[in-house]
Amino acid sequence: MLTHAPGPRLRRARGIETPARAHRWACRAVVLASLGAASGAACAFTATLTAAAPKAIYLQIGAGTFTGGNYTPIKGNGQPTGTPGKNTTVNTVSVSVPAASVGNGTAQTMTTDSSTSTSFWDGYSFCNPPQQLYIGGFYRTTGNGTGSISLIATVPASLTDGAGDSLPFSQISWTSAGNGDGNIAQPFPAGSFTSTSLNVGTIGQNQWAESCWTFSYSNSTVPAAGTYTGVVLYTLTAP
Amino acid sequence: MSFTLRRMSRLWFCIIWLLAAPAFAKTTVIDDSGTLPYNAALAMRWAQAVPRGGDGLLMVGQLQLRLHLNVAPFQHHTGRIFLVLPMQQPGGMSASWTTAGRLLPGAVQSGGRTLVYSGPITTPFIEDTVQLTITVDGRRMLGTYPVNFRFEIDED
C-alpha cells in the first residue's frame, strides 16, 4: 500500500514541490490506496511536545508570598488557588542577653520578627512565631529521577558590632520541628553555623519541603558589650 | 461441474464476497493534510505551579487547529469518524478538545480513539476549529516528542 506514495512525490520532485505539499500528496496517495483497513500514520497531524520552563524552585525563609491565597484548595478547573511570588523581606532572629547572664553557658532562645505561622501549601498553622522561623520551598523538574537539591547557607565567620568586636557565628544553633510532624525527620534538620558554607537541608524532586527552626545562642563566651549582627544568605539552586 | 452447480458456486461466491466486503472496508484513515498547523510546536507547561498533590506531576499544552478532513471518498455514505491517539513516546498522554460545533468535543487516552462525528457524509470536506489540550506526565518529558494523531472513519 505504501508503495503508492512515492508516485506523486517523485513526479512533483522534478518541479518545485515543497516538502509540506509532498507530504500531503503522499498522504492522499495512501488514503486512496487504503480503501481496506486503516493505514499507518502517514495522514497524521503532528504536535511536537517540548517542555517549557520545565524547572522551577521556590524558597521561603520567614516571610513569603503567594498571591491569590494558599496553594490549596485546588479550584474546579484544576488550578491552584494561589501562585508563588517574590518577597524581598529579610527577617531577623535576635536575643538580648541580660548583663548578669552573659557568658554563663546557659543557652538563650532567640526569637524572630517573622510572623509567618501558616504554610502556603494548605494554610495549616505549621510554625509558632516568634520562637520559630518558617523555612520551606519546592523543586520542580521534568524526568523520572529521584534527585534532590540542597539549600546552602553562606555564613560570615563572626557577628560584629560597630566597634570592631566580634562574636563567633558558631555560637548560634537551631532545632527543627513543625506542628503535627511529631518525631518525623525534618527536611531542614537541626544544626549550627559551624562553617561559612553549610548544607542545611534538601528538597526532593517535585516535592514541597518545610520545617520550623528555633534558634538558640549558646552564650558560652564573654564578648564586649554591644549589638552584634550578621547576615546569613540562603541559596537554593537547581541544576 | 454442471451448469447449475457452476451458477450455484458463483452465487455463493457473490454472497460470501458481499458479506466479507464491508469487513475489509470498515476502517479507513482520513486525509487530514489540510489541517493547519499540520506540524505544530507545542509548549508543555506544569499544570500546577507547585509540585504537591495528585496532579502535581502533569504537564499541559494547548493548541488551536483549523481542522480540514477530506471526506470526499466517503461522500453520500454514512459513517463514524474517530480521533485516534496512537501509543507513542513519551507515553502516558491524554488529549481533550473542544470544537466549534461541526465535530464532537471529547477526550482520548494514548492507544485509544474517540468518536468525533457520526452520520451522513454530505460534503467533500469537514472543517472545524479545534482547541486541543494535551496532558502528559512530566516525569516522562525528557526531550522533544513529535506526537501523531490521525482520523479514521468507520463506514456504516
Q: Calculate the average pLDDT of chain B.
A: 84
pLDDT tens figures, B116-154: 999 999 999 999 999 999 999 888 888 899 999 999 999
Q: Calculate the average pLDDT of chain A.
A: 81
Q: Which domain holds residue A218?
A: 56-236
CB A114 within 8 A of CB A163: no
Q: What is the CA radius of gyration of chain A?
A: 30
Same domain? A144 vs A110: yes
Same domain? A136 vs A226: yes
Please provide the CATH number assigned to the domain covering B26-155.
2.60.40
Same domain? A39 vs A127: no
pLDDT tens figures, B58-89: 899 999 999 999 999 999 999 999 999 999 99
| Distance separating alpha carbons of residues A124 and A131, to the nearest angstrom | 17
- According to DSSP, the residues that pair with A46 across neighbouring strands are B39, B148
> Is A12 a member of any domain?
yes
Query: In the 8-state DSSP scheme, what is residue A53?
Result: S
Nearest to A41 among B53, B90, B148 (CB): B148
Nearest to A189 by CA among A173, A171, A205, A204: A173
| Distance separating alpha carbons of residues A212 and A177, to the nearest angstrom | 5
ipTM attached to this prediction: 0.75
Same domain? A118 vs A220: yes
pLDDT bucket at A79, cuts 50 / 70 / 90 = low
Query: In the 8-state DSSP scheme, what is residue A137?
Result: E
Same domain? A37 vs A82: no
Same domain? A193 vs A90: yes
> Is A49 a member of any domain?
no
* Whether B44 and A49 lie within 8 Å, measured CB to CB: yes
| Distance separating alpha carbons of residues A64 and B87, to the nearest angstrom | 43
Burial class (CB in 10 A: 0-12, 13-18, 19+), B11: exposed
Q: Tell whether A238 is within 8 A of chain B (Cβ).
A: no
Same domain? A34 vs A121: no
Residue A45 has a pLDDT of: 84
Same domain? A148 vs A229: yes
pLDDT bucket at B17, cuts 50 / 70 / 90 = very low
For cell 484548595, name the residue. Answer: A73
Residue A5 has a pLDDT of: 31
Return the C-alpha cell found at A207. 516535592
> Is A223 a member of any domain?
yes
Q: Which of A209-223, B22-36, B120-134, B138-152 has the lowest mean pLDDT?
A: B22-36
Same domain? A96 vs A36: no
Same domain? A68 vs A15: no
Instruction: Show me where the domains of chain B are located.
Output: 26-155
Query: How many other C-beta atoms can be found within 10 angstroms of the C-beta atom of residue B103?
Result: 22
Q: What is the CA radius of gyration of chain B?
A: 21
Query: In the 8-state DSSP scheme, what is residue A100?
Result: G
- According to DSSP, the residues that pair with B83 across neighbouring strands are B114, B151
> Is A48 a member of any domain?
no
* Whether A50 and B41 lie within 8 Å, measured CB to CB: yes
Residue A1 has a pLDDT of: 27
> Is A50 a member of any domain?
no
Residue B156 has a pLDDT of: 83
Return the C-alpha cell found at B134. 494535551
| Distance separating alpha carbons of residues A153 and A41, to the nearest angstrom | 54
Same domain? A113 vs A197: yes
- In total, how many domains does chain A have? 2
CB A160 within 8 A of CB A166: yes
Same domain? A136 vs A231: yes
| Distance separating alpha carbons of residues A95 and B102, to the nearest angstrom | 71
> Is A28 a member of any domain?
yes
Distance separating the N- and C-terminal Cα atoms of chain B? 38
Q: Three-class SS of residue B67?
A: strand
Residues 75-134 of B with CB under 8 A from A: 86, 90, 132, 134
Q: Which residue of A17, A23, A39, A43 is the best one to mutate when testing the B interface, meaning the one whose CB has the most B CBs within 10 A?
A: A43
Instruction: Name the minimum distance, in Å, from the CA of A95 to any CA of chain B.
Output: 35
Q: Which element (helix H / strand E) includes A111?
A: strand A111-112
| Distance separating alpha carbons of residues B94 and B61, to the nearest angstrom | 11
Residues 36-65 of B with CB under 8 A from A: 38-53, 55-57, 59, 61, 63, 65
Give the pTM: 0.66
> Is A80 a member of any domain?
yes
| Distance separating alpha carbons of residues A154 and A6, to the nearest angstrom | 65
